[in-house]
Chain A
Amino acid sequence: MTMVLMDPTAELNPDGRMPLPKPKSLNGLTVGLLNISKPRGDIFLDRIDDLLGQKGIQTKRYSKPTFTRIAPTELKQQIATECDVVIEALAD
């Protein structure tokens, strides 16, 4: 059954959880490129890596062991500590 909660805040922000604000620029940030291990994800990410590299933006590459399961906690923690933003290649 759906549980209804009463908002404890001053309701100055919109209902629901907001995504983090998008960075205005990638300059100076580290971009993680996450391959979830679906076919051809590497081709997409290679091209993104190349384009970001041309702009002088630092990248780091990561892979999930398998697309069939959620990312291991260690991998999520590693990405969170090493990167500012992540681009994920989701589909084949």
Chain B
Amino acid sequence: MSQYVLVVKEDCETCRLLASLTKRLIDELDITIYSQDNPEFPAGVPVIDDTELEYSFNHRLETVPTLLKFENESGLTELERTEGWDRNEWQRLTGLNFLEDLPAFRPGCGSKTLDPGMLDQLAVKFGSADLEARRLAIEDGEDEIEACYDRGWSDGLPLVPPTELRVVKMLQGTRRAPSEIIGNVPPDYAPCSVLKVAVNAVMAGCKPEYMPVVLAAVEAALLDEFCMHGLLATTYFSGPMVVVNGPISRAIGMNSKGNALGQGNRANATIGRALQLVIRNVGGGKPQGVDRAALGNPGKYTFCFAEDETNSCWDSYSVEKGFDSQDSAVTLFAADGVQGIVDQKSRTPESLCRSFAAGLRVASHPKMVMAADAFLVITPEHERVFRDAEWSKTRVKAELESLLQIDGAELVMGAGGIAEGLPDKFADKVVPKFRAGGLNIVRAGGGAGMFSAIIAGWGASGSMGSVPVTVKVGH
């Protein structure tokens, strides 16, 4: 025999219409009635109080009234349900005849579980028990922002306190299970769950819709070839820079245009910060701890931007790396700060490439070669010079590569009166500034300003240290 459940609320005209039926339902069916608002409604029949909405939440009610039919032979399995009042449906589900009782059809009302903000609160109340993270009570009178500082979670700036409600909302930004382990985060190599990423994303100020990007960034950081442990532990300046390609960068409103490398955009600012907080809090990587940076750089708070793919004459970075233009992808690069290149006069690609090469030549040190990779961020006004001359990105790179073949005599120790340099055996050789594939180009920036930017990388770029990594953004 089937069992039935009817969920109602008094504050619904259709439910009140059905109240006259409930006596008959109780008499003729094995039925339990739950009320979302008034446990005295419907009057005269046994009603279970669901004003806490636990039953309604656990059974994902969307409408009242809802009639649920269960099979009870092997435990209670829901067979089907009908929402609102549809006489034919009710007759089919119950086998009863309601011909004379009520109109043929009346829509129901929204379940109280769907009141604004309610679902998140119920998720905390009834659905967060399986969220495996230690709970810390902040007592009355204790300032929660200061409490986050006191526990050592902050990068120096205020954090959004990671309440259960905020974390549950953040987890709605991904379809991945909270308990899924993404990998082990250096330097402690502590297992990092989707949940821990969400907690840190809350603290960083992320919106739930950023979660897929944050998760991809953390995954990328944990790839062996990115060498996050070494990047953290180095005395060098570098930290992870995040470049986002594909539709998600536009969907979540990332800035790829004016001031793309600067402040002011929530997604740019908080995604990069969330990655750093995961390394700090889950991995345990802290300045003057395992982070041995002599100076660091301001990008270690956050360094994240989107490539401007709209109306570009070039393939984007991720397309160059083999991803589809409709894929979203996250690239991580072990980056120092930003070095500007000003060239307001060049109108030919040959001249502009010479400007770029002169700037790139001094990255890290004018005599340091084959050590640090670099990203060249080309703005639209500089890109226009190449567009007008129909130069592909490949051609620009090839031109730069040929301009950055350096006479070893200029690079050896002592040359130019500078002790720093290569061993003497390079004196009669020609040495490229960058390793093969070590110079990358992305397009970003505002429409006015003939400026581009060099972002040089860790002095241990390449297979001996860190190479840029690109990961597809999932859900």
Contact = CB atoms under 8 A, between A and B. Distances in A.
A, B assembled together: yes
A2 B137 contact: yes
Contact of B138 (A3, A8, A10, A15): A3
Contact of A5 (B140, B147, B200, B284): B147
B139 A6 contact: no
Interface string B182-218: 0001001011100110011001000000000000000
A9 B163 contact: no
Contacts of A16: 136
Contact of B133 (A2, A6, A12, A17): A6
A9 B192 CA distance: 9
Contacts of A70: none
B155 to A, nearest CB: 12
Interface residues of A, number: 15
Contact of A9 (B131, B140, B144, B153): B153
A11 interface: yes
Given A2-B139, A3-B137, A15-B134, A8 B164 contact: no
A29 to B, nearest CB: 20
A74 interface: no
B167 interface: yes
A5 B138 CA distance: 7
| Chain A binding surface SS class | loop
A16 B152 CA distance: 11
Nearest to B161: A5
A4 B136 CA distance: 6
B345 interface: no
B222 interface: no
B275 to A, nearest CB: 13
Nearest to B189: A10
Interface string B121-165: 000000000010111111110001001101101000000011110
Given A6-B134, A15-B136, A17-B151, 15 more contacts: A3-B137, A3-B138, A4-B135, A5-B148, A6-B162, A6-B195, A8-B153, A8-B282, A10-B191, A10-B282, A11-B134, A12-B188, A12-B190, A12-B284, A16-B136
12 contacts: A2-B138, A2-B139, A3-B137, A5-B147, A6-B134, A6-B195, A6-B199, A8-B153, A8-B196, A8-B203, A9-B281, A11-B134
